[in-house]
Amino acid sequence: MSRKTVVYTLVALFISSAGSLLQAAEGWITDYEAAKKQAAKEGKDILMDFTGSDWCGWCIRLKKEVFSQEAFKKQAPKHFVLLELDFPRAKKLEAKLKAQNEKLRGEFAIEGYPTIMLTDAGGKPYAKTGYQPGGPEKYITHLAEKRAAKTVRDESFAAAEKAKDDTEKAKLLDKALSMIEKTGGIPVLSVYGDVVARIIKLDSDNKAGLKNKYGARFALEDLNKKLQTGKYAEAIKGADAYLAEKGGEKEMKQKVAFLKARAMFMQSKGQDFKGTIAALEAARALAPETSIGKQIPNILKGLKAQVEKQAGENAPKPKKTTEKSE
């Protein structure tokens, strides 16, 4: 090896090392699998920052006000492996990194930036958040409050495994998911579908009311998907089947009835006013005091006005008569 080659090799190594040192100093990594391995090894969670680093105003503010501050750099790594998932517009990412970020954006159903997703070492999300004013200390406290959802989740899961009664197991699992949903803001049906299915099985006689609770939500989600994909007839049929069942929460039944009305209106291409009105009136009667129940009268008012207008346009017009002069 020539002296020139050795020099070039050493320069490359120094540059590479400098980059690694810089990344280590900042405390962020960009490789998801590496983040999971590090989190598992160190007994930490993962903080995922879905960001638009060179265009998203709130992302830039979050980095400036929180992530770049010494208080955050010192405290956050005690509990989290920090993973940056960037979606820049001017800056170009390596193809492999871009593909990874796009995949994770889909898997975690990211809709806006910045989204901060908190997961366990295996990548299972338990909370999400975003920009919060107040600086690094307040943000650290905010993250600690979110981490409480994971603590309840893990303790409840562990207690459920020890419980001998199926109903008690179901209640403990429900406690975990309720915390994840309420404090963490995570949609449990899609993220913890396996746990939900287990709850329904454990409470098969609906002794704890959990079979109906989650079964109804699954049904509503399925009907929503059919509505969004234009399967209006299937959505109406599914809604009718659910509404025909005995029992169940009135508020959930109202949501299904309201969805049915939407499906009827869409299926008719906005022409079936009478059928939609009847479906909406049935939905309102189930629970008039809910937010949906209070919205329905305004919708009905608009639909009934259209019916009257339509009736006026279709009414036979009187024939014009002319008098004959003698």
Q: Which two tokens stand for residue 8?
A: 């070039």
Domain boundary among 116, 147, 178: 147
Asked if 217 and 123 sit in the same domain, the reply is no
The pLDDT of residue 315 is above 80 = no
Instruction: Tell me, yes or no, whether 321 lies in a domain.
Output: no
Instruction: Tell me, yes or no, whether 200 lies in a domain.
Output: no
Give residue-wise pLDDT tens across range 279-302: 999 999 999 999 999 999 999 999
The pLDDT of residue 15 is above 90 = no
Instruction: Tell me, yes or no, whether 130 lies in a domain.
Output: yes
Instruction: Tell me, yes or no, whether 180 lies in a domain.
Output: no
Task: Kindly tell me the burial class for residue 175, based on how many C-beta atoms sit within 10 Å of its own C-beta (0-12, 13-18, 19 or more).
Answer: middle
Dist. CA 43–CA 40, nearest whole Å? 5
Instruction: Tell me, yes or no, whether 198 lies in a domain.
Output: no
Dist. CA 163–CA 147, nearest whole Å? 25
Residue 39 is part of a domain; what is its CATH number? Answer: 3.40.30.10
Asked if 30 and 132 sit in the same domain, the reply is yes
| Cβ neighbours for 310, distance < 8 A, ≥ 6 positions apart | 273
Instruction: Tell me, yes or no, whether 42 lies in a domain.
Output: yes
Provide the 10 A C-beta neighbour count for residue 18. 10
**Lowest-confidence segment of 19-28, 53-62, 94-103, 240-249 by average pLDDT:** 19-28
Q: Which two tokens stand for residue 115?
A: 């989204």
Domain boundary among 132, 147, 162: 147
Instruction: Tell me, yes or no, whether 45 lies in a domain.
Output: yes
Asked if 133 and 60 sit in the same domain, the reply is yes
What's the structural domain count of the chain?
Answer: 2
Quick one: pLDDT at residue 20? 35
Q: For 2-9, what is the mean pLDDT?
A: 45
- Residue among 131, 123, 118 nearest 100 (CA): 123
Does the pTM surpass 0.75? The reply is no
Residue 237 is part of a domain; what is its CATH number? Answer: 1.25.40
Dist. CA 182–CA 126, nearest whole Å? 10
Asked if 122 and 30 sit in the same domain, the reply is yes
User: In terms of residue numbers, what domain contains 139?
Assistant: 26-147
The pLDDT of residue 22 is above 50 = no
Asked if 121 and 39 sit in the same domain, the reply is yes
Asked if 220 and 137 sit in the same domain, the reply is no
Q: For 130-155, what is the mean pLDDT?
A: 96
- The 8-class DSSP code of residue 134 comes to S
Q: What is the mean pLDDT of the chain?
A: 88
Give residue-wise pLDDT tens across range 194-212: 999 999 999 999 999 999 8
Instruction: Tell me, yes or no, whether 235 lies in a domain.
Output: yes
